[in-house]
Amino acid sequence: MKFKKIVIANWKMNPNSLSEAEEIFKGIKKRVNKFKNLKVVICSPFVYINNLKQLNKKEIISLGAQDCFNQEKGAWTSMISASMIKSVGASFVILGHSEKRLIGEDDKQINQKIKLAFKNKLKVVLCIGEKERDEEGVYFSFLENQILSALSGINRKFIKNILIVYEPIWAVGKSSRRVISDKELQEISIFIKRVLMDKFGEKDFNLIKILYGGSVSHKNVEDLIQNGGVDGFLVGRDSLDSRKFNKILDVVDKN
């Protein structure tokens, strides 16, 4: 990846119609050309990807999916494979999101999905994050285990296609207890880099982008990009409003 920073929109199960999705996409697309230091990715519901691709002929914006299944094909009603995602024009896939883990997805399944994503030449947006922060720092071991379990058996040649999103559950959504500080984020970023360096070696670990995702908005993004030690963001709620999302992109591009 030759870009310096990256911002990924995670639309989750939104918006309610294709026409709304296209309007949001158009509102973001018209601003993206001006950014020189930024890669923009939109991960929409799977049913919208092909239509958004038609609006994206010059591939100004990269497209992604929000998940894939841990099997290649077969009698798996409603599931979507990595090869299907690739075939409709997406190049990224979010895996290990806290909302998937909450309903039972485990580290083994995430690892299987990552391997299939790489087999189909997709870039993986791997989400990690703890529910609570304890004073003893046990959450550091929890995060390390999430990273190493997800990347178990992953060949070094794929690391340029890995993005790790730190997504602390306690800071996510409308019910979040508080916003993370830039100092806390910097500490976690350094820790993640140390884990990656131990696994992949000093030469290669810096190829992996580290992002933050947790109630990211245009109000807090400047401090986090300037002082948090991350390469970009995974944005949820504010990515559904093109004006708010564009404000985030402006700030990240300038910093």
CATH of the domain at 104: 3.20.20.70
**pLDDT tens digits, one per residue of 53-74:** 999 988 899 999 999 999 999 9
Q: Which two tokens stand for residue 198?
A: 């131990």
Mean pLDDT of the chain: 94
Confidence grade of residue 138 (pLDDT, cut at 50, 70, 90): very high
Confidence grade of residue 175 (pLDDT, cut at 50, 70, 90): low
pLDDT at 1: 45
- What is the average per-residue pLDDT within 244-255? 95
Neighbours of 205 (CB within 10 A): 18
In sequence order, what are the beta bridge partners of 65?
93
Q: Say which residue, 64 or 1, is predicted with more confidence.
A: 64
Looking at the structure of the chain, the number of domains it has is 1
User: Of all residues in the chain, what percent carry a pLDDT higher than 70?
Assistant: 97
- What is the average per-residue pLDDT within 130-147? 93
What type of residue is 224? L
Q: Pick from 218, 168, 217: which is nearest to 189 by CA?
A: 168
Say whether 97 is catalytic: yes
- What is the average per-residue pLDDT within 112-135? 96
Range of the domain at 225: 5-254
pLDDT at 36: 85
User: Of all residues in the chain, what percent carry a pLDDT higher than 90?
Assistant: 84
pLDDT at 131: 92
The secondary element (H helix, E strand) that includes residue 222 is helix 221-227
- Catalytic pick from 97, 99, 105, 130? 97
For the whole prediction, is pTM greater than 0.85?
Answer: yes
Say whether 167 is catalytic: yes
Is the sign of the CA dihedral 64, 70, 71, 74 positive or negative? negative
pLDDT score of 194 more than 50 = yes
**pLDDT tens digits, one per residue of 20-54:** 999 999 999 999 988 988 999 999 999 999 999 99
- Catalytic pick from 99, 105, 130, 167? 167
pLDDT at 134: 87
- What is the average per-residue pLDDT within 100-112? 96
pLDDT at 78: 96
pLDDT score of 19 more than 80 = yes
**126 touches 162 (CB < 8 A):** yes
Contacts of 76 (CB under 8 A, 6+ apart): 69
pLDDT at 226: 96
